[in-house]
Structure 1
Amino acid sequence: MSTAIAQRGDTIESLVWRERRAAGAMVANTMQINPGLAERYPLTLPAGHPVTLPDVATVTPVVATVNLWR
């Protein structure tokens, strides 16, 4: 894990994209290891706020499945 520092106007998604070039599962895992982050800062993070990011290798991809026959 590493720590990234939010820049002015960063959302959780934009910070994860800038630091890891990833979305989806990486954003979900970032919110899991930073409890309360999305609730405290639903729109933008304050500049200078540290955010712990998971390592790319530890992220479990989210796979959505669709069942066409029920």
Structure 2
Amino acid sequence: MVRTVISRQGDTLDALIWREAGLKAGDISRVLAANPGLADLSPVLPLGTAVTLPATSSQPQTRPLVQLWD
């Protein structure tokens, strides 16, 4: 699912995509491809910058439930 998020004060692109979508630094190239001109901005995104996050092909990872007692 493609969605758009808005940057907060002091956000960098990698912090934004990690916080909002759980994407990793290696996904920055996909985000930049989906947002022409975003790379021309400063390393700290201007407040209120709209960033389109591309759809992820992987499903969110879930961990098995660990119970200490049965």
Q: Give TM-score, length-normalised by structure 2.
A: 0.71
Identity of aligned residues (%): 37
Per the alignment, residue 64 of structure 1 pairs with none
Unaligned runs of 5+ in 1: 59-70
**Cα deviations by residue, 1:46-65 (Å, 9 ceiling, x for unpaired):** 1111100011118xxxxxxx
Unaligned runs of 5+ in 2: 59-70
More helix by share: 1
Whether 2:60 is the aligned partner of 1:57: answer no
**CA RMSD between the two structures:** 1.5
Please list every run of at least 4 consecutive aligned residues from structure 1 whose deviation after the TM superposition is greater than 3 angstroms: none
Q: Secondary structure at the match of 2:9?
A: coil
**Cα deviations by residue, 1:2-54 (Å, 9 ceiling, x for unpaired):** 00100000111111111112213321100011012011x13111111110001
Per the alignment, residue 48 of structure 2 pairs with 48
Q: Secondary structure at the match of 2:57?
A: helix
Q: Which has the larger radius of gyration?
A: 2
The 2-side partners of 1:53 and 1:21 are apart by 11
Per the alignment, residue 7 of structure 2 pairs with 6
Asked if the contact 1:26–1:54 (Cα under 8 Å) also holds between the matched residues in 2, the reply is no
